[in-house]
Amino acid sequence: MDRPEIILAPGPTPIPPEVLLAQGSPLVYHRGPGFGSIMREVTERLKELYRTESADVLLMTSSGTGALESAIQNCFSPGEEVLVPVAGFFAERWVSLARAYKLTVHTVDFEWGQKIDPAQVAESLATHPGTKAVLLTQSETSTGVIQPVQALAEVANSAGVLVIADVVSSLGAVPFEFDRWGIDVALGGSQKALSASPGIAFAAISARAWEASKAATNPRFYFDWATYGKFAALKDPENPWTPAISVMQGLQAALRLYFQDGVDAAMARHQRLSSAVKEGAKALGLDLFGEGLEDNWTVTAIRAPEVADADVICDTIRRDFGCVLAPGQGPLKGKVFRIGHFGYFSELDIIRGLAALEMTLESLGHPVKRGAGVAAAETVFMESA
Ligand SMILES: Cc1ncc(COP(=O)(O)O)c(C=O)c1O
């Protein structure tokens, strides 16, 4: 019998029925008061999530990477210098994107899985005084590490450079404060902590970043922020181009659901689920990967045991139980697998994922005490109830 897959990956995350219904309902025509009121509500709620009163938030039809590309197009001119601290796959994406637009990229390199050291970034900024911006990734989804964006922004602000942050897999999942931390651009997506479908990306833009965008000469058209800004300022806000209307309707429902409990409740849930996954994995004799585990509430990277390659674990659990885990990326391929635990997940989603993992590991020859992972997760839940 066909059943939906059980997604325990760091995005797209499972979609609540309210969101599915909203995005399956008749299209609201994208020019006029109906869509305008959806855009207004979604923008207002996102501003609350970004913790900003000063920034403009633009909504674009694209996955998260499109929003990252929009930042490179709008903030820079060819040859300008940026600094990227690299400790994983998504920081490397910043490097590739910036190079694709002929920026001069300085990197500060860390081992994958390390937390970025703000002091080293400060040193590098001092050695490269022509730097215009730092490009950060808050939740480095490839390693599970939540990077210290607040401290990194402080260092960048002291050096007088723009702070551009990829918050695709962290906005709404872990604390983030656009205004207080001195962020200039922060880019998110619909399919992660908010549990809407993929297809809408957002950019929060500070006054400083708007200024930069006016002077910047990189080519841009589809993602031209100035065009988006004009349409967003209409009496009934619009997108310049035909947007992913259904996804926007779903995103409105997703945000309403998210704010039923509110930001703090969502963060507390992510922390609890993260801790249950980590304790569950340890109880199965597995080693966790990455620094700062107690802060890493979005995704847990787990080292594969000796008996099985991580990709084989992902393939087997999917084949036998319909459960989707994320494989390792880049140098971590085959070495780690990842469990996502942000977005519309409950305690029981984690319990069934751990149960499937136990049985999969046993079938692959890794010795497990049946129920040990589940019991450890239950202990976390009962003791933090
Ligand atoms: C931190 C981070 N940045 C960027 C992206 C890319 O987003 P998308 O696949 O929506 O383009 C992802 C997706 O997993 C991500 O986790």
Residue 224 has pLDDT above 90, yes or no: yes
pLDDT digits (tens, 9 = 90+) for 111-150: 999 999 999 999 999 999 999 999 999 999 999 999 999 9
Query: CA-CA distance, 356 to 86, in Å (whole number)?
Result: 34
pLDDT of residue 1: 82
Task: Please report the atom of ligand 1 found closest to the CA of residue 137.
Answer: 1
* Length of the chain (residues): 385
Task: Categorize the per-residue pLDDT at 379 as very low, low, confident or very high, splitting at 50, 70 and 90.
Answer: very high
Q: Does residue 143 have its Cβ closer than 6 Å to ligand 1?
A: no
Q: How far is the CA of 135 from the centre of ligand 1 (A)?
A: 14
C-beta separation of 345 from 155 below 8 A: no
Q: What is the mean pLDDT of residues 270-287?
A: 98
141 CB less than 6 Å from ligand 1? yes
Prediction pTM value: 0.98
- Would the CB of 343 count as within 6 Å of ligand 1? no
Q: What percent of the chain has pLDDT over 90?
A: 99
Q: Which atom of ligand 1 is nearest to the CA of 170?
A: 1
**Mean pLDDT for the chain?**
98
Contact 336, 310 (CB under 8 A): yes
Q: What is the pLDDT of residue 240?
A: 98
pLDDT, residue 15, reads 97
Residue 188 CA, ligand 1 centroid: distance in Å: 8
326-367 pLDDT, tens digit each: 999 999 999 999 999 999 999 999 999 999 999 999 999 999
- Token pair listed for 35: 């869509």
Q: Which atom of ligand 1 is nearest to 63's Cα? A: 10
> Is there an atom of ligand 1 within 6 Å of 137 CB?
yes
| pLDDT tens string 55-80 | 999 999 999 999 999 999 999 999 99
Distance 166 CA to ligand 1 centre (A): 8
Task: Please name the helix (run of DSSP H) or strand (run of DSSP E) that holds residue 20, with its range, or none.
Answer: helix 17-23
Handedness of CA 285, 289, 292, 294 (dihedral sign): negative
Judge whether residue 29 has pLDDT over 90.
yes
pLDDT of residue 37: 98
Residue 385: pLDDT band with limits 50, 70, 90: confident
- Residue 23's pLDDT is what? 98
